[in-house]
Structure 1
């Protein structure tokens, strides 16, 4: 058979390289910034460091929102505010966004130095506060595609539609390590693996910012939340984490380091505290590491009210004024205050008192103004409405649909029950079956996504998509349960008995941040009972998990014939799922997280060997589904794993190839995941680590050879003195069911195997 050799994402990788290397020379911008700063008063400088929410400058009467003339005048002409963010509790259409941004920038043009305002928004899976926009799957679902090109394209479209809303600054991507399943923001992450996060993060940043962030189709990315936000000890949002420096550098820091290399212009700071130190108060994290080691030169902005919380919550500042002093001296450039002007007043006083040096102010303001120049705001503070004919287009919708289709993860398919036949009688039931909230999740039109059923009324829920796919006459619907209680379960059971198959949709409604905190990872008793009662009918159950985090579903899942994880798929998720259920699309998603079996057994796949258990321990690593799990309607075979040399040395590259064949009857996509394990090291090595991946499309009978290149840097780890090293020793490669070993021989680091 002819082998087709492929170069992994060569076109896409060239785009990444170009975006990182072909930036405009910035010396001219630096000079412009220096000239402008020389003209500024202290008050004007501190104003640039102040960010307020739109409520501060707006009024809403009888549901009608508008910029208040007196409030915006106070914000700009008195306090010289440099940034505004957010919306009130509803989405705006593009026309209203034009009016809002135009009014703000017109007021800025009246100020002495005419410095434009930079407006920011959380467009984390599309422009979430603009009606008619294209909403993509949330990051956790995008990660499940294992397809950087899809993520890049989604970023590009999101940037286009954000600029079409006249907003140049996007508070995305989330680069937090999705390590704790309890954490309510895990769906905003690219999963639990550092390599997956950093590569997906770099891809979407490149999509957001393009080769020229100043053009009318791109926005400034904001990598967040620096650092260690995603692993709170309690699993609750904005609560303490305990992370040794070595672990921080091994698992949490790499995505941010990669984002800096990709050119991210801005950064948002972790709201929590690590080892008792709030990040907003950590000069080590914000200056020594971020600036000194990563060489980040963009804006570091706080999250919501977080300087204030240094006093109110963390209790490390005796007064609010002390909180401002500590945060700014630590390295904060801009404060998301966001409701009033206390930060401004305190900071002016602190500079006059000599407690915050003017050099720190000038440094912060330089970064802020530089980003404004880079975005082209001094030349074009408001976009042209006619420049965005593709906003909300069918072309963009198809990209979202394709992303949702590639994200859906088939976890179980007993006796090949899926795909279903279109002439079957289907009962659709469960609390996530007929609501857009369980497709979109939080940050969808509103902060909590609680109005998705209104704003996305023209999109299909899971129920509606199935009805359209096979006809309403073949579909019955009974809710069976809400998210927390039973609802007409007897009617659901009756309907099940009359059906050929049950599509049981369980999971979560929309939420984010502290509103999404839970005390129990177990799915509610009502949802589990619904599964149990339906199982008694003897009809096969197709379990659909529409959720933002892996709730414990072990009992319900044991009763299913097939199980699909849909995450929060965005507006096209219902159609994508229906296509997969009935065979018009072939699933190809893989879990970007480890799905736990029990509520107190939360171990990530890159566990230590001690966590695997031993013959006397029945409670070792035993997840319901491991990171990387994902089935297809076809089958794939791996063979001919080959390495270019048996020994890898300093400054060398190891080429790894493997043949992948579609051994089934349907065309399908396969995510090829490269794992490498070090067998022995001075720090207990992880059982295995993802070191590369690619996604390929194979026709029945077709074979492709996938190639990866590995350098010693790619298999390094952080040792007990927080130094990144690659130690000599034996390494195991795993690609599918193929394994092979190679040795790394270092000129400086001794072997831990005793073999070399």
Structure 2
């Protein structure tokens, strides 16, 4: 066993940074205003601030989208609610309609004694996706595939601009879940399986949303979610239990939130799940002891939908709803997304009156909420002046979304360089995802499940339309081939017959639009109808380009070997089909990389940074061809091909022996050895050769993306610090240990010694 070295430097720096932020003149003034306002508030007004209600609660019966003013008056004047969320019926209002909605709410708030503004929040997770005409970006999993944090930051910046143009100052994003089961229905809302990649992307999004001044009319408050362990369910299904040792939580999951907190995130949403038998909404250790005290998080802690109620009705840890309110508020919850009644308000009022919840806990929660409202400048204005937002839905923003999609799309296979396509050949486009915007955008697009994308994005191109626009309808013909559920032998036969007249086949497979529990599956394989279509077309022995539009890696091992090329599009958003068409035709060189391992088998779901014992079969039976490899993903994390070639050389370390106080600089030369301009994501992996906690085979520690012309060479350098060498020990403290470490970039490796 190697001797451990403990490092306190990181904690000291974080504490110093927090002290500096907390004592800035701006924060001091905000704290003064909060204290002054808090002293004037009644207990009823305070508890109202902690209450969040869905906007559809205030709609008139039988009149979708029309406020029943008596209901709104009751909410704001009687119950003093502090926050409203969600989208009014029938969905996706224009910015003009949003202005009317927020103006109506603001006018009611101005009738109250203290005129405290209502904080409005929305699920703007890949653009201002609940506003008609807004710019929609790839979903987070696609942003991760770009390996370009500037794309993440810029996309969030545009999303903030367009959300504020909608008079909404608060977005429930970024998603910092770390999924451990590829069947999970929300994997596409995450940044994939790697903690470092997710941390960097999450922090970039927070900076894009909040900017240098979250109170600016072009910025919004972000909301990290879902704290914590939500993506690690043992069943792979949404909102089901997780079993995660705290050591694992600290080494991986918690680091994502630490990075976003450091980036300035103003709020956090708590996981709907439970860890080791304790619902996170009921965990004082997770919310108060770790998040608020240890990490020093000063923002608002909000529940997810109905989750306090679910402590009683689902989790069964509270005998009554009143008990659920007490447990969650004492655990550290500041705001309850109730969201359809006033049970939280009435129960909490009674709990305070009877001394079961102290005023100190209420004052802490309300102070956090008021602080965010002051920081957002809501006391100055809650309604956007639409003249301030001339770029809403502009070509400038669309171009950024297009580039994000283009850099996300990942070429996984290109046998005999079947791609790019010849622009003069006849192409059959088939498959259930080929001609709908729903499958390009996925869930949380215009409405919850995203089923209205074809209506709201009617002016955008499907995959079929994008290819026809490039090649002409006379050269691109189409039939659906199959759907997501049912066999249709006649339709499959039609696709086979049409393919006989094509030189190549674009086969568009994947998943229907979904999110959360409606997206739960029991079979990770892509569905039988799509497999049958793929196998039927393969019998023609014509080149097939498999295009995947999916939120998670559905298994394709039944037919992948029969495909000439494989492209993963993830959920690329409204501009995704245009970007895909340009990549297929070689007008854009693909540069995405997989942000997860794409599994080959349902019982072989190892992550790329697996432990050595997860592939024992490879070591013990590598000379016996009758055994399957233990570690054999369909495509490994970081896979991504290009139409050009890159050569790595001259991997250098500025030192080969370091002490516990040193950093180490790593540089490598990358040359474009092909004939086409290309972008290359350069990934640096680190391996701790021996450690007292079994080490990972390798772990991503740095990445950067560069553009290279043919024959051009660039040097890219990375600096590793002591935290990069550490892991969490059994005592739950970060440590590193003396010994040898290996760096890998491309096919090059170098070792250094920590002494």
TM-score, normalised via structure 2 length: 0.95
- Name the counterpart of 1:190: 191
Tell me if structure 2 keeps the 8 A contact 1:664–1:701.
yes
- Name the counterpart of 1:68: 68
Q: 2-side partners of 1:312 and 1:27: how far apart?
A: 42
- Name the counterpart of 2:222: 221
Shift in Å at residue 721 of structure 1? 1.3
Which residue, out of 607, 610, 614, partners 1:604?
607
Shift in Å at residue 484 of structure 1? 1.3
Structure 1 residues 409, 570: CA separation in 2 closer, same or farther (over 3 Å shift)? same
Q: 2-side partners of 1:468 and 1:60: how far apart?
A: 45
Which segment is superposed worse, 376-385 or 563-572? 376-385
Tell me if structure 2 keeps the 8 A contact 1:637–1:661.
yes
Structure 1 residues 138, 528: CA separation in 2 closer, same or farther (over 3 Å shift)? same
Q: What SS class does the counterpart of residue 555 from structure 1 fall into?
A: coil
Which residue, out of 652, 655, 661, partners 1:651?
661
Q: 2-side partners of 1:283 and 1:162: how far apart?
A: 33
Is 1:584 matched up with 2:569? no
Q: What SS class does the counterpart of residue 551 from structure 2 fall into?
A: coil
Shift in Å at residue 572 of structure 1? 0.3
Q: What SS class does the counterpart of residue 543 from structure 1 fall into?
A: strand
- Name the counterpart of 1:208: 209
- Name the counterpart of 2:451: 450
- Name the counterpart of 1:149: 150
Shift in Å at residue 60 of structure 1? 6.5
Shift in Å at residue 618 of structure 1? 3.2
Q: 2-side partners of 1:25 and 1:671: how far apart?
A: 39
Shift in Å at residue 555 of structure 1? 1.5
Gaps of 5+ in 2: 1-16, 622-626
Q: What SS class does the counterpart of residue 559 from structure 2 fall into?
A: helix
Is 1:123 matched up with 2:124? yes
Q: What SS class does the counterpart of residue 472 from structure 1 fall into?
A: coil
Deviations 1:199-246 (A, max 9, x none): 000001000000000010000000000000011000000000000000
- Name the counterpart of 2:258: 257
Tell me if structure 2 keeps the 8 A contact 1:547–1:567.
yes
- Name the counterpart of 1:615: 620
Deviations 1:412-431 (A, max 9, x none): 00011100011110000000
- Name the counterpart of 1:722: 732
Is 1:627 matched up with 2:640? no
Is 1:666 matched up with 2:669? no
Shift in Å at residue 619 of structure 1? 4.4
Q: 2-side partners of 1:537 and 1:103: how far apart?
A: 62
Q: 2-side partners of 1:669 and 1:66: how far apart?
A: 50
Q: What SS class does the counterpart of residue 222 from structure 2 fall into?
A: strand
Deviations 1:281-314 (A, max 9, x none): 0000000100111110000000000000000000
Tell me if structure 2 keeps the 8 A contact 1:89–1:447.
no
- Name the counterpart of 1:329: 330
Tell me if structure 1 keeps the 8 A contact 2:487–2:529.
yes
Which segment is superposed worse, 300-309 or 599-608? 599-608
- Name the counterpart of 2:365: 364
Tell me if structure 2 keeps the 8 A contact 1:485–1:527.
no
Q: 2-side partners of 1:209 and 1:21: how far apart?
A: 15
Q: 2-side partners of 1:352 and 1:545: how far apart?
A: 57
- Listed as ranges, the matches of 1:132-143 within 5 Å are 132-143=133-144
Is 1:542 matched up with 2:545? yes
Is 1:732 matched up with 2:742? yes
Which residue, out of 533, 536, 559, partners 2:562?
559
- Listed as ranges, the matches of 1:293-692 within 5 Å are 293-487=294-488, 488-613=491-616, 614-616=619-621, 618-692=628-702
Q: 2-side partners of 1:687 and 1:566: how far apart?
A: 28
Tell me if structure 2 keeps the 8 A contact 1:648–1:712.
no
Q: 2-side partners of 1:512 and 1:59: how far apart?
A: 28
Q: 2-side partners of 1:658 and 1:59: how far apart?
A: 64
Q: 1-side partners of 2:430 and 2:179: how far apart?
A: 30
Q: 2-side partners of 1:536 and 1:644: how far apart?
A: 55
- Name the counterpart of 1:266: 267
Q: What SS class does the counterpart of residue 562 from structure 2 fall into?
A: coil
- Name the counterpart of 1:752: none
Q: 2-side partners of 1:43 and 1:316: how far apart?
A: 27
Q: What SS class does the counterpart of residue 67 from structure 1 fall into?
A: coil
Q: 2-side partners of 1:566 and 1:595: how far apart?
A: 13
Shift in Å at residue 179 of structure 1? 2.1
Q: 2-side partners of 1:319 and 1:606: how far apart?
A: 44
Shift in Å at residue 711 of structure 1? 1.1
Shift in Å at residue 714 of structure 1? 1.4
Q: 2-side partners of 1:354 and 1:652: how far apart?
A: 53
Q: 1-side partners of 2:158 and 2:118: how far apart?
A: 23
Gaps of 5+ in 1: 1-16, 746-756
Shift in Å at residue 636 of structure 1? 0.2
Deviations 1:451-487 (A, max 9, x none): 1111111100000000001000001101110011234
Deviations 1:609-641 (A, max 9, x none): 001223236341110000000000000000000
Deviations 1:680-715 (A, max 9, x none): 000000110000000000000000000000111112
Which residue, out of 710, 722, 726, partners 1:712?
722
Deviations 1:12-65 (A, max 9, x none): xxxxx9xx9798620111011011010000000000000000111223746x51
Total equivalences in the alignment? 727
Q: 1-side partners of 2:686 and 2:288: how far apart?
A: 33
Shift in Å at residue 183 of structure 1? 0.4
- Name the counterpart of 2:8: none
Q: What SS class does the counterpart of residue 620 from structure 2 fall into?
A: coil
Tell me if structure 1 keeps the 8 A contact 2:21–2:27.
no
Shift in Å at residue 658 of structure 1? 0.3
Q: What SS class does the counterpart of residue 491 from structure 1 fall into?
A: helix
Q: 1-side partners of 2:250 and 2:65: how far apart?
A: 45
Is 1:244 matched up with 2:254? no
Q: 2-side partners of 1:60 and 1:410: how far apart?
A: 51
Q: 1-side partners of 2:172 and 2:340: how far apart?
A: 19
Q: 1-side partners of 2:485 and 2:658: how far apart?
A: 55
TM-score, normalised via structure 1 length: 0.95
Q: What SS class does the counterpart of residue 506 from structure 2 fall into?
A: strand
Tell me if structure 2 keeps the 8 A contact 1:85–1:121.
yes
Shift in Å at residue 526 of structure 1? 0.7
